[in-house]
A and B are shown apart, each in its own frame.
Chain A
Amino acid sequence: RKEVEQDPGPFNVPEGATVAFNCTYSNSASQSFFWYRQDCRKEPKLLMSVYSSGNEDGRFTAQLNRASQYISLLIRDSKLSDSATYLCVVNKAGTALIFGKGTTLSVSS
């Protein structure tokens, strides 16, 4: 089983839609969780950290379920500029980040 698994998509949605991405991780000792965004031919950049209680940043909501080893990202009111690849990332304290292969989102007008 891969350490971090994501549905690669692509997810094709119209502007204004709500879209959700899911991710599972295999190592129950993982301690920190993130969503990164990567635009085409660019470097990954942190979108948001994911906290146990769930957290929201504008149109973006991230949730963590430690029991199921599952992380989600919800994007409301999708914009054209949200088109990108979203990488699920976990970190076990003392080691490097482990990246999923990403989920591609395409938002169309």
Chain B
Amino acid sequence: DAGVIQSPRHEVTEMGQEVTLRCKPISGHDYLFWYRQTMMRGLELLIYFNNNVPIDDSGMPEDRFSAKMPNASFSTLKIQPSEPRDSAVYFCASHRDHKRGDTQYFGPGTRLTVL
């Protein structure tokens, strides 16, 4: 399997622009997670889906952030409008089930810089 795929790998944009991050989970994985990582705050969970349905979006910082999962093989995280404080590495992860001992597999991340 190719693993979790994210695109783009790097994104530089100007404040106020819309940013869309994309993720393809590992085939057969029922759960998909979006994280944000910064030096100050570490790795923070933004939202996660089970079978394409959003389960917990309490980590989404504000209304400027939205996430969708239209099918089992694709998810997007959108920031509109973007701000400099959104600069971070955004990771997507997937796993098969929430049984004990199950692990998450992370994509390579999207490094976002908002100027």
Contact = CB atoms under 8 A, between A and B. Distances in A.
Main secondary structure of the interface of B (DSSP, over half): loop
B100 A31 contact: yes
B103 A46 contact: yes
A97 B33 CA distance: 10
Interface residues of B, number: 18
A97 B56 CA distance: 12
A79 interface: no
Interface in B54-110: 56, 91, 98, 100-104, 106-109
A96 B45 contact: yes
B100 A43 contact: no
Contacts, number: 43
Interface string A76-109: 0000000000010001011111111110000000
A102 B41 CA distance: 11
Interface of A: 31-32, 34, 42-46, 49, 87, 91, 93-102
A32 B100 contact: yes
Contacts of B43: 44, 87, 99, 101-102
22 contacts: A31-B100, A32-B101, A32-B102, A43-B106, A46-B103, A49-B101, A87-B43, A93-B100, A94-B98, A95-B56, A96-B45, A96-B48, A96-B56, A97-B33, A97-B104, A99-B42, A99-B43, A100-B42, A101-B41, A101-B42, A101-B43, A102-B42
